């Protein structure tokens, strides 16, 4: 195994009953890398991440995580992984300090007091250590959850939609913490639905209905598909009517609303221009050529997939 590869797996599969949730999944993750997982709900991304981290044993496939076999040595992997769930799972009737002390006892840590003190300091929780967890805002609960999963000094972090329901400033602060941890050599796997967060990852994997459809740096994924994109501005009434008219036209792959604009995207630039030509002279509409963004790419990927996992 390459010393820089924290995860190196090939052909992982997982089924629940007759449902084949993950199909032939292969991935490599380097030390200190933030790897983002994107995909629709039920796409298999959480199951994939859990298999990579030893939290779920694959039905077939092979590979290693942190030097351990992902099929035979899952218990060893779990001891070196920090897992932060989407839903706050600590005890709301305990204080911040009491929560961390309880988690430290669960891990059987020898120097629990020092570990808790360090976690409080590193995540800026010392000033609130006596506050009940149930009274915290979403951002502070998130910070406490991160402190709890970092207590045992894991080498790999698994974050399952960690910023869902958190305000923009708290999200920004959280990502600053994640990048600081990655700079220390900790690898991070994070699932997210936010495109601005996807752009902050070192690499991305897009999963739909059990299959890995695209992977690479955000810039690489963006240029995997040479999508032609036009942006059109106008009143909400005009754009709503235009949306319905454009969707069925040859050369138009998809039309997506972004505030007071529509993004009109196609695989072939010439065919797209031909499709929109009759509408470009209409009054009240302002057309400009644009660049496809990550959200355009992922909507395009979804348009070509169906929930056929059995």
Q: Residue 24 — pLDDT band, cuts 50, 70, 90?
A: very high
Q: How high is the pLDDT of residue 46?
A: 86
User: For the chain, what is the mean pLDDT?
Assistant: 88
Q: How high is the pLDDT of residue 162?
A: 85
More confident residue, 200 or 305: 200
Q: Tell me yes or no: is domain 5-222 CATH 3.40.50.720.
A: no
In sequence order, the 6+-apart residues with CB closer than 8 A to the CB of 62 are 9, 10, 11, 69, 70, 71
Q: Residue 308 — pLDDT band, cuts 50, 70, 90?
A: very low
State pLDDT tens for residues 251-262: 998 898 888 899
Distance (Å, rounded) from C-alpha 296 to C-alpha 228? Answer: 10
Q: How high is the pLDDT of residue 305?
A: 61
Mean pLDDT of 188-209: 90
pTM exceeds cut of 0.85: no
pLDDT of residue 57 exceeding 80: yes
pLDDT of residue 288 exceeding 90: yes
Mean pLDDT of 35-64: 88
* Whether 163 contacts 157, CB under 8 Å: no
State pLDDT tens for residues 27-48: 999 999 999 998 887 788 889 8
The ranges assigned to domains in the chain are 5-222, 226-291
Q: Residue 304 — pLDDT band, cuts 50, 70, 90?
A: low
Q: How high is the pLDDT of residue 1?
A: 46
Identify the sign of the CA torsion 33, 60, 10, 38: negative
The packing angle between helices 112-122 and 138-150, to 10°, is 140
pLDDT of residue 277 exceeding 80: yes
Angle at 69 between CA 67 and CA 71, to 5 degrees: 155
The packing angle between helices 168-183 and 138-150, to 10°, is 20
226-291: which CATH number, 3.40.50.200, 3.40.50.300, 3.90.105.20, 3.30.70.920? 3.30.70.920
Q: How high is the pLDDT of residue 2?
A: 56
State pLDDT tens for residues 69-113: 999 999 999 889 998 877 777 898 999 999 999 999 988 888 889
Rg, C-alpha atoms of the chain: 22
Q: How high is the pLDDT of residue 3?
A: 58
- Burial zone of 47 (CB within 10 Å; 0-12 exposed, 13-18 middle, 19+ buried): buried
């Amino acid at each position: 195994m390459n010393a820089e590869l924290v995860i190196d797996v090939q052909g992982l599969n997982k089924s629940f009953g007759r449902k084949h949730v993950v199909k032939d999944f292969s991935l490599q993750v380097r030390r200190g890398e933030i790897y983002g997982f994107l995909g629709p709900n039920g796409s298999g991304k959480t199951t994939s991440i859990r298999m990579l981290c030893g939290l779920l044993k694959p039905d077939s496939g092979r590979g290693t995580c942190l030097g351990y076999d992902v099929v035979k040595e899952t218990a060893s992997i779990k001891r070196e992984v920090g897992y932060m769930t989407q839903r706050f799972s600590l005890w709301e009737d305990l204080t911040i300090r009491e929560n961390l002390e309880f988690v430290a006892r669960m891990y059987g840590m020898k120097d629990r007091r020092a570990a808790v003190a360090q976690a409080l300091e590193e995540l800026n929780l010392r000033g609130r250590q006596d506050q009940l967890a149930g009274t915290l805002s979403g951002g502070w609960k998130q910070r406490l959850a991160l402190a709890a999963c970092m207590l045992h000094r894991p080498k790999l972090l698994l974050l399952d939609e960690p910023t869902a329901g958190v305000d923009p400033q708290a999200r920004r602060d959280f990502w600053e913490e994640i990048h600081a941890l990655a700079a220390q050599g900790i690898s991070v796997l994070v699932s997210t639905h936010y495109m601005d967060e996807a752009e902050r990852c070192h690499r991305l994997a897009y999963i739909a209905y059990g299959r890995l459809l695209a992977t690479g740096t955000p810039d690489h994924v963006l240029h995997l598909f040479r999508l032609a994109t036009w942006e059109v501005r106008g009143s909400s009434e005009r754009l709503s009517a235009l949306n319905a008219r454009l969707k069925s036209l040859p050369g138009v792959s998809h039309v997506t609303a972004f505030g007071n604009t529509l993004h009109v995207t196609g695989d072939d630039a010439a065919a797209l221009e031909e499709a929109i030509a009759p509408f470009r002279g209409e009054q009240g509409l302002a057309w400009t050529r644009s660049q496809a963004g990550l959200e355009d790419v992922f909507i395009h990927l979804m348009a070509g997939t169906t929930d056929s996992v059995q």
